[in-house]
Structure 1
Amino acid sequence: MFEHTVVAVHFSSSYKPLLDSLSELREMGAKEFTLVDVLRVDEPKELSDEHKAEARRRLKQKQEDLEKEGFRVHIESPVGHPAQELVKVAMGAKANLILLASRGEGLWREFFHGSTVLELVRRTSIPTLIERLDPKDDTPISDLFSHILLATDGSKRAEGAETHALELAGGPGNRKLTLLQVSEEEAPADAADRLRSLADQARAKGADVAVRTEEGDPARVISRVAREEHASLVVIGKRGNAPHKELMLGDTAQEICRNVASSVLVVPGNAPLWTR
């Protein structure tokens, strides 16, 4: 499913535990990683020969560690702005996933400087996984795929998120999938049928499935349900029904990326699924 993953790395930040946990993606088909440490063009100290050499040394060390575990690993140290460079590398590598870490809640998700996470998700047409780390010790909060919350509005643009959530829920181990239909007004007439179909497909894959239908502000409802369900991962589409370009980031997805306590997988509506 996620055969080739581009991993955003910044060794002065919360990335060692993230790199140490990459083997968890093996069960979802991971075979190849590209580790990317972007040297910021607006940070002169990162452009010094000493800093470049140390960044490269650490990348090569992690490359060797992952290769010993049987992965193919590439390393990149481009100079520029993080979001732009990560998208360039991911598109050039034809990656299936972009992975980065986030320490804590709220604006801690805006790592490096400013709104890099949001800019990255806006720019890319590749699924992006923001893995939450515990701010106390920089370790993953929980088993990433143990309890998946799929938030859908039933629109065409949510189909990519739905497909990815079903595939993740069908992975090895005892996995739970909560299907959340959320709308600001009364749900469409066919919403119940759509949820039943998704639930049946997930159960056929062996997942433990729960279904919830809620009304209200989507971002607030999704955040609340994620807390109530103790979701380890929230899967959402990049946009809902709004008639904007695919590369734009919807208000709901933006708020979830910034504020939800769980890890978040943002899936563009046209993202293909690479099955194992």
Structure 2
Amino acid sequence: MSTFTKVLLATDLSPQADKLTECLFCLCPDTETEVVLAHVFDDDDDADPDGSSFKKARSRLDGYKNDIEQAGYEEISIVTPAGEPCETLSRLAEENDADLMLVASHRKGFLKRALMGSTTYELARATMIPLLINKDEEDEVTENLLDTVLIPTDFSRKSLEALNVIRSLREYVGKVLFVHVVEHSRNKHDYKEKYGSAKMFLQELVDEMKIFGIEADYRIAHGVASKKIAAICERDNVSLIMMTKTGADMTNGDDLGSTSENVVLNSDCAVMLLPAEDSDEEDTFS
């Protein structure tokens, strides 16, 4: 059974957002999953049921609903409030007891510093539930999100929250790739010790996955964590990064230096951010 039982699929009705239904099917294969389709209008006039903007949006949302029903899902609702998108979607997630939110990133603009106030980025900072950010462009072929899942870890409990999701979806996961980045070492001897310890822990994680029948491997890198993760994603054709949202930076917006934020901003593949159970624990990647 999937970890997620009620999903908020937030769409701006763009071609990129059209691919979120495939993400839903991958992450929530249980057709008893409840789905809330949400489109937030900028103002009350657009949300007027008698207006042309509302009718066009509603027609598109009905199309989404039909596609999801055709896949076997039965509990599907549509909500179309007006307001500031990030605040409104966060409120909708809480009101509907959603345990997963799906959004699309317009990757070309999303990577520009000037657009860091975008809805997707604001949600990455603010939302308190798991958030899937899909980055497929309109002309890209959508791949199975679970083909190759990369899990960055510093071996803290919170950095391994993704294992709970992986275990629940073990029948659908192709491969798990654990990544540990040694960002700082005093000298070659210090790095060798850290490398040896990491290798031991990573092998334990790989062996655990194999117990669940999941193919797994690991990578160890030395340098800036977010850059090394991005390079490994490209080299190993990673389909999804699944990582814990850690540190104060991600939730209060004071800084853009944490690994979680840089991975969200710079990765080309989809990213799932998971809330950390213990928000006071330090992120040793940062």
Q: TM class, shorter-chain normalised? A: 0.7 to 0.9
In the other structure, the counterpart of 2:159 is 158
Please give the alpha-carbon distance, in whole angstroms, between the structure 2 residues aligned to 1:87 and 1:153: 29
Once the two structures are TM-superposed, the CA of residue 162 in structure 1 deviates from its matched residue by 3.8
Which amino acid counterpart does residue 66 of structure 1 have in structure 2? I
Partners of 2:250 and 2:15 in 1: CA distance:
30
* Aligned with 2:225 (options 218, 227, 237): 218
Query: Could you say which residue in structure 2 is the equivalent of 1:5?
Result: 7
- Between stretches 22-31 and 143-152, larger displacement belongs to 22-31
Instruction: Please state if 1:256 is matched with 2:255.
Output: no
1:101 and 2:101 correspond:
no
Per-residue deviation at 1:15?
A: 2.0
Change (3 A) 1:218 1:248: farther
Give the superposition deviation at 1:39: 0.6
Q: Paired residue for 1:132?
A: 135
- Which of these two proteins has the greater Rg computed from alpha carbons? 2
Whole-Å Cα distance in 1 between the matches of residues 144 and 219 of structure 2? 22
Q: 1:148 aligned to 2:149? A: yes
CA distance in 2, matches of 1:91, 1:109: 30
Task: Give the conservation status (yes or no) of the 8 Å contact 2:250–2:261.
Answer: no
Partner Cα distance (2:223, 2:116) in 1: 32
Q: Is the 8 A contact 1:98 1:127 kept in 2?
A: yes
- Whether 1:90 and 2:93 are equivalent positions in the alignment is yes
**SS of residue paired to 1:40:** coil
Instruction: Tell me the CA shift for residue 122 of structure 1.
Output: 1.3
Superposition deviation, residue 109 in structure 1: 8.9
Once residues 21 and 172 of structure 2 are traced to their aligned partners in structure 1, the CA distance between those partners, rounded to angstroms, is 21
Give 1:138 shift.
5.2
Please say if residues 161 and 268 of structure 1, whose CA atoms lie closer than 8 Å, have aligned partners that are also in contact.
no
Deviates more, 1:112-121 or 1:200-209: 112-121
Q: 1:117 to 1:265 in 2, by over 3 A?
A: same
Q: Percent of aligned positions with the same letter in both sequences?
A: 25
Structure 1 residues 82 and 212, CA gap change in structure 2 (3 angstroms) = same
Cα distance, 1:78–1:45 mapped onto 2, change above 3 Å = closer
Summarize deviations over 1:110-164 as a string: whole Å, max 9, x none. 9x994211210211111111122134x2542x21100111111222331323433
Q: State the SS of the aligned residue for 1:235.
A: strand
Q: Which runs of 5+ in 2 are unaligned?
A: 186-193, 279-286
* Pick aligned residue for 1:121 from 121, 124, 141: 124
**Once the 2 structures are TM-superposed, how far is the Cα of residue 264 of structure 1 from its aligned partner?**
0.7
Let me know the Cα RMSD of the aligned residues: 2.9
Q: Return 5+ residue gaps in structure 1 as ranges.
A: 272-276
Change (3 A) 1:106 1:195: farther
Instruction: Report whether the alignment pairs 1:75 with 2:78.
Output: yes
Once the two structures are superposed, residues 235-271 of structure 1 have per-residue CA deviations (whole angstroms, 9 ceiling, x without a partner) of 11101xx4x3884476211111111111111111129
Letter in 2 for 1:209: A
The residue number in structure 2 matching 1:209 is: 216
TM score, norm. by length of structure 1: 0.82
Partner Cα distance (2:209, 2:163) in 1: 10
CA distance in 1: counterparts of 2:7 and 2:128, whole angstroms? 14
Tell me the secondary structure at the aligned position of residue 27 of structure 1.
coil
- Number of matched pairs: 261
1:79 is aligned with what amino acid? Answer: A
2: CA distance, partners of 1:45 / 1:12 = 20
